Structure 1
């Protein structure tokens, strides 16, 4: 269930970032969402494969911070609104 909370926080952050011209890539890290870098990366990959985010390009052999042009999709926004598991994550 903890993964759902982290995923909710990630999607909420991405949704809120749509209001700004530039994406805050420095603030988009595992620590911000209360997890470790490996889980954060795994969750991002799963979110992209499931169609909830797009624009993710992870190079696994390079460990340098770089701007990531990730954005949420309409599918993820509708999930946030309708799914009971996501609603539980909002109580954080």
Structure 2
């Protein structure tokens, strides 16, 4: 799966979970997303660093191991903006692709 598709999926799940008391973290687990735990850890770190998510605890150890706790994870306003901008871009891409498919 493409990196940005996975990021979009994680943020989408968090956005849809805003109406719920708790996030179903299994939906954004490495197994469910089809990626390694190491890659998943790095995605969480990038999303946290970028300000798209909060409620995440990241601990790095001297042996290189990283532990990520997402028990209180939630999307931020910046994360919502990312979703909004990327859904608009995706629609524009689909329209443009449809036009180029029509032109011989």
Instruction: Give the 3 Å change call, closer, same or farther, for CA 41–13 of structure 1 in structure 2.
Output: same
Task: Measure, in 2, the Cα distance between the counterparts of 1:13 and 1:19.
Answer: 11
Instruction: Give the 3 Å change call, closer, same or farther, for CA 42–20 of structure 1 in structure 2.
Output: same
Higher strand share: 2
Matches within 5 A, 1:42-53: 42-53=42-53
| Matched pairs, number | 89
Matches within 5 A, 1:18-37: 18-37=18-37
Determine which of 48, 59, 74 is the counterpart of 2:77: 74
Instruction: Indicate the structure whose relative CO is greater, using CA pairs within 8 Å and at least 6 residues apart.
Output: 1
Instruction: Describe the superposition over 1:12-62 as per-residue Cα deviations: whole angstroms up to 9, x where unpaired.
Output: 011111111122234431111221111011000000000000111034568
Larger radius of gyration: 2
Higher helix share: 2
Instruction: Give the 3 Å change call, closer, same or farther, for CA 45–67 of structure 1 in structure 2.
Output: closer
TM-score (norm 1): 0.76
TM-score (norm 2): 0.68
Structure 2: state its 5+ residue gaps.
95-104
